[in-house]
Structure 1
Amino acid sequence: MDRAALPGGVLTGLWQRARLVERRIETPTAVTLVLAPAEWPGHLAGQHADIRLTADDGYTAVRSYSMSAPVRDGLVEFTIQRVHDGEVSMYLCDDLPIGADVELRGPIGGWFVWRETETRPVLLVAGGSGIVPLQAMIRQRRAANSDVPFRVLYSVRTPEDVIYGDELADSADGVETTILYTRTAPAGSGRPPGRITQADLKTHGWTPGFDASCFICGPTGFVETAAKALVAMGHDSHRIKTERFG
């Protein structure tokens, strides 16, 4: 997720070099980069980090991206959505060669996180690339062999825009995923294309009686709509955590 660094986050460490060791194509516009930093302190599911690029003439550009998975063998993963005319996201997605270095600083943020010691049911609501930090939570849950029930509502424009489609389709371990399409829905989806509604949240989310922890991430309008709908349904506003971009 490409966005400005959030104020008030918890920052660990200074800038350090991190080498690109793997690039995975997720969708026509989203790429996962696997970086090997010199020394990484670890991170919580939902946190993000700053990536800095420096040109030969000394010009620098910094963007903040969510980690998309728990740290694995010292490696840190980011899934980056290519932003039209975005100087950093386009370079990272298309031009940064394997073996090249970037500068990395983090992790950042201590509020929009899920810890494996938590026991409440979890509702994850994502719009577009907002799935990235929520996928980190799903992967952390699996890595910890947690049995906390997760429900995921993921809103995308078309089937081609679904990031992590194969993983999200696997509901065998207690992660139930519903994908909502806003422009083009696949045949047999059972729901016409449209934006997320309170009815979607009632049908596929948790009722307020479950006292679930709710995480919403996506564009500002999407986040505001989903958060207001959950409050209107009776969810405790203190259990609703949001992160937005755009």
Structure 2
Amino acid sequence: MTKELVTPTTVRLRMHVDDRLRHWPGQHYLLRLRAPDDYTAQRSYSLASDDSDPLLEFFVERLPDGEVSEFLADVAEVGDVLEMRGPIGRWFTWDVRTPALCLVGGTGIVPAIAMSRAARHAGRPDLLRILAVGRSPEELPYGDELHRFGATVAYTRHAVDDRPAGPPTAAELAPLLDGIQRAYVCGSSRFAGLAEALLMECGMPADSIRVEQFGATG
């Protein structure tokens, strides 16, 4: 395992997995911590890497009182061996053939990164469009990579050029849906609800929208 502290509250992990199974962009892994008394804590994390990458890449946000995220951000060291299970998930996967749009926010941007890398590796970046939402440039995961891919970015707390701070609008989203057959939404529960409603307002059929949301765990 290699580890890079991206911001004071986020960390990028890259891991080698022996005899790993192939994965589709959009899938995730379960990372489990096990104490000497056999107490366990686990959390699911989306893959940022595409299947051509020899390592699995995860982007973890350190959450208050989050047993797994705090360990990964503050305690885990390079060379540590972690208990993992995956890849998991069939619903929220992209086949790298269907024209798709990702409407993603916060750390929900991670699966869109995997999809963009898969699109580039296949030589078909034209099949994928991304509308990424973050609070500010400093807090946007994979900001430089998103811009290189040509993603549209909306900041909710930071004005850029002639765009005021705020969530994406129907006027910004509608042109990105031309020719799109499937939409992927990933982010917090609140973001996912707003994003799904915005897509349907712009004419995207509900059965063409796939949603993955996250929130506090019990």
- Secondary structure, counterpart of 1:148 in structure 2: helix
- What is the CA–CA distance in structure 2 between the aligned matches of 1:154 and 1:147, rounded to whole Å? 16
1:179 pairs with one of 140, 143, 153: 153
1:163 pairs with one of 113, 137, 141: 141
Change (3 A) 1:126 1:39: same
- What is the CA–CA distance in structure 2 between the aligned matches of 1:211 and 1:225, rounded to whole Å? 19
- What is the CA–CA distance in structure 2 between the aligned matches of 1:193 and 1:46, rounded to whole Å? 28
Please state if 1:95 is matched with 2:95: no
Q: CA deviation at 1:115?
A: 1.4
Q: CA deviation at 1:28?
A: 3.5
1:229 pairs with one of 161, 180, 198: 198
- Amino acid aligned to 1:164: Y
Structure 2 unaligned regions, length at least 5: none
Correspondence for 1:57: 37
RMSD of equivalent CA atoms? 1.7
- What is the CA–CA distance in structure 1 between the aligned matches of 2:166 and 2:143, rounded to whole Å? 20
Residue identity (%): 40
1:154 pairs with one of 123, 132, 140: 132
1:60-99 to structure 2, matched below 5 A, reads 60-72=40-52, 74-99=54-79
1:200 pairs with one of 152, 159, 172: 172
Which range moves more in the overlay, 126-135 or 150-159?
150-159
1:110-121 to structure 2, matched below 5 A, reads 110-116=90-96, 118-120=97-99
- Amino acid aligned to 2:131: L
Structure 1 contact 27–162 (Cα < 8 Å) conserved? no
Change (3 A) 1:37 1:25: same
Q: CA deviation at 1:184?
A: 2.5
Q: How many residues align?
A: 215
Structure 2 contact 32–40 (Cα < 8 Å) conserved? yes
Q: CA deviation at 1:56?
A: 2.4
The Cα offsets for residues 178-200 of structure 1, whole Å up to 9 and x where unpaired, read as 111112334x2x21111233233
Structure 2 contact 185–211 (Cα < 8 Å) conserved? yes
Larger relative helix fraction = 2
TM-score, normalised by the number of residues in structure 2: 0.91
Structure 1 contact 29–81 (Cα < 8 Å) conserved? yes
Structure 2 contact 98–181 (Cα < 8 Å) conserved? no
Structure 1 unaligned regions, length at least 5: 1-19
Correspondence for 2:106: 128
- Amino acid aligned to 1:68: A
The Cα offsets for residues 201-241 of structure 1, whole Å up to 9 and x where unpaired, read as 125x224xx24321110011111111112112211222111
- What is the CA–CA distance in structure 1 between the aligned matches of 2:180 and 2:115, rounded to whole Å? 18
Change (3 A) 1:235 1:36: same
Q: CA deviation at 1:147?
A: 4.5
The Cα offsets for residues 101-143 of structure 1, whole Å up to 9 and x where unpaired, read as 1101011101111112x142x2111110000011100011111
Q: CA deviation at 1:37?
A: 1.7
Structure 1 contact 153–178 (Cα < 8 Å) conserved? yes
Change (3 A) 1:170 1:74: closer
Structure 1 contact 45–133 (Cα < 8 Å) conserved? yes
